[in-house]
Amino acid sequence: MRKKITKPNTSREKVKVICAMMDKHLSDTELSILSELIEMSENNNITLSVQITKQIRRTLSITSSLCNTGISRLQEKGVITKTGK
């Protein structure tokens, strides 16, 4: 039997503090999505492919609708920027 080890998502707490300092009020879902995006990004950029959003949904156990809504709200609040489609 193999043991599964998962690392704690420490960026979630950091994201929470930074958003509070920026006076950005995010829901728990938005905080979780943003935290996952930060964990997955390289050089502060990430391409939101189908595989990335599936991985976020799987990690957070959320629906595709909730994930898409969370990403849209993060963009509307100015927390993330999106280029392209």
**Residue 34 contacts by C-beta under 8 Å, 6 or more apart in sequence?**
15, 19, 26, 74, 79, 80
Residue 49, pLDDT score: 83
CA distances in angstroms from 77 to 8, 29, 71, 83, listed in the order given? 27, 14, 10, 15
The model's pLDDT over 5-53, given as tens digits with 9 standing for 90+, comes to 555 556 777 777 877 777 788 888 988 888 888 888 777 777 788 888 8
Predicted TM-score of the model (pTM):
0.73
What Rg, from alpha-carbon coordinates, does the chain have?
Answer: 13
- Give the start-end residues of each E strand in the chain: none
